[in-house]
């Protein structure tokens, strides 16, 4: 249905977007930061609908199809969001903000949270004196879906942060600091969109608070 007004805001009321559906009745709200949102849809001659508790995670695309109901537009019906319908065929999962905050980490290295996902294993590398392998960088190496550690791509707020050897980012002590600034993490193991590029291994996405 064309011309339907779609208003979106997060629970904290810090983000607000508004669009109209196009001639095919399609709406799109791109580039949303991870948060819990509410959507209100309205049109002349139709009941206003409010959809709540819509969780959007990092690297995901939510699809919510709404059926308009004829009636008084001054009447508002509030409905909880349907179960997540994620338009994404890639193998992977998210580490949500609660897990990031509450998981104890050795050295506060947020990259360690990657190992919580299926198909991710740590790789034992390094020199006798510690501090990583100079041929692979200084970060903690992991294998995602069987790929080599230097085939992975680490991204922070959409920007690649792989080190000079295309390995995991980290200091000379092997730690990637800054867990307190990280909000969510996602890991994509395979079949991820071509937009990511630059890698044949896994994708580790992190967004800051």
Query: Who contacts 109 (Cβ-Cβ below 8 Å, separation ≥6)?
Result: 140, 170, 175, 176, 177, 179
Least confident of 50-54, 94-98, 121-125: 94-98
> How many contiguous H segments (helices) and E segments (strands) does the chain have?
1, 12
Does 118 share its domain with 63? Answer: no
Tokens of 105: 């980490």
Q: Is the pLDDT of residue 154 over 70?
A: yes
Does 65 share its domain with 124? Answer: no
Where is the domain boundary, 80, 99, 125? 80
In the block, residue with structure tokens 């590398």: 125
pLDDT average, residue stretch 35-51: 90
> For the domain that residue 121 is a member of, what is the CATH number?
2.170.130.10
Helix (H) or strand (E) holding 98: helix 97-102
How many domains would you assign to the chain?
A: 2
pTM: 0.60
Q: Is the pLDDT of residue 130 over 60?
A: no
Does 111 share its domain with 187? Answer: yes
Task: Please write the tens of the pLDDT for every residue from 105-116.
Answer: 766 677 778 887
C-alpha distances in Å from residue 6, one per residue of 3, 60, 123, 187, 196: 9, 20, 47, 30, 29
41 found inside a domain:
yes
Domain with 161, as residue range(s), is 91-208
């Amino acid at each position: 249905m064309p011309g339907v007004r779609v208003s979106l805001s997060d629970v904290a009321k810090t983000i607000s977007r508004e669009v109209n559906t196009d001639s095919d009745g399609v709406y799109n709200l791109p580039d949303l930061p991870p948060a819990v949102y509410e959507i209100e849809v309205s049109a002349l001659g139709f009941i206003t609908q409010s959809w709540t508790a819509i969780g959007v995670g990092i690297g995901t695309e939510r699809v919510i199809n709404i059926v308009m109901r004829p009636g008084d537009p001054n009447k508002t019906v509030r409905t909880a969001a349907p179960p997540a319908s994620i338009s994404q065929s890639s193998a992977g999962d998210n580490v949500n903000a609660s897990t990031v905050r509450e998981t104890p980490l050795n050295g506060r290295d947020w990259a360690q949270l990657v190992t919580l996902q299926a198909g991710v294993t740590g790789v034992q590398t390094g020199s006798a004196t510690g501090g990583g392998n100079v041929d692979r960088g200084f970060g903690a190496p992991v294998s995602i879906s069987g790929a080599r550690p230097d085939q992975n791509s680490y991204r922070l707020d959409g920007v690649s942060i792989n080190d000079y050897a295309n390995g995991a980012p980290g200091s000379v002590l092997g730690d990637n600091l800054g867990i307190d600034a990280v909000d969510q993490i996602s890991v994509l193991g395979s079949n991820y969109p071509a937009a990511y590029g630059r890698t044949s291994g896994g994708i580790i996405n992190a967004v800051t608070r």
